[in-house]
Every structure is written in C-alpha cells, then in structure tokens.
Amino acid sequence: EILMTQSPATLSVSPGERATLSCRASQSVGSNLAWYQQKPGQVPRLLIYGASTRATGIPARFTGSGSGTEFTLTISSLQSEDFAVYYCQQYNDWPITFGQGTRLEIK
C-alpha cells in the first residue's frame, strides 16, 4: 500500500498571502495524484487531478505541481473561503490512498 504523507499537519497563513502544502508518496505514483478541499460539515471537493490539472470551476490561484513522490499544492493570495482541510490522493495503484490532511487556518 502506498503511504501518503502530508505536511505540515496545520498551516497558519494570513489572508492574501501564499500557502504551500506538501504531499509525499512512499513510492512513485507518477502524476496520478489528486487534491481535494474539505470545509467543516461539507463534502470533499475535487481541486486538482493529474498532479497539476485544475478541475472545472477551480480558481487559478490553486496550482498543483510535482511528480513521482513529491507534490505541492500552492494557493496564491489566500481568500477567506480557502481556509479548510486539504487532502492528497494517489490513484496510481490499488488500494487508492489519501494523505492524512493539512488544515489551513487563518493566522
């Protein structure tokens, strides 16, 4: 099973600043990585797939990058609605696995 490790567990950033979230895979997943955003009491929302392709309707301030074992989700100029928990997910191999999440909070 591929272990996905996200860092940091919690990230405190001020509105308008940039946030950088990391996701590491225990073995190469190529570009078979997705990112999701989840707000309290809500369903996860697809942000990025293929490591860097934004899903429909996702603002351009969300950027995914990386390949192999190291991935980054960058949110430029944080808006109030961006404060949430973010999960990475690999789909290169069975079973599909998620990271434990990074909580992005207002500084």
The site for other proteins (CB under 8 A) is made up of 1, 32, 34, 36, 43-44, 46, 49, 55, 87, 89, 91, 94-101
Please state the closest distance from residue 52 (CB atom) to other proteins, in A. 13
In the complex with other proteins, which residue's Cβ is closer, 3 or 14? 3
In the complex with other proteins, which residue's Cβ is closer, 16 or 41? 41
In the complex with other proteins, which residue's Cβ is closer, 67 or 91? 91
Q: Which two tokens stand for residue 34?
A: 């997705």
Please state the closest distance from residue 96 (CB atom) to other proteins, in A. 4
The whole-angstrom separation of Cα 28 and Cα 83 is 29
Cβ–Cβ < 8 Å for 37, 98: no
DSSP classification of residue 96: P
Please state the closest distance from residue 105 (CB atom) to other proteins, in A. 15
Q: For residue 38, with 0-12 CB atoms within 10 Å meaning exposed, 13-18 middle and 19 or more buried, which class applies?
A: middle
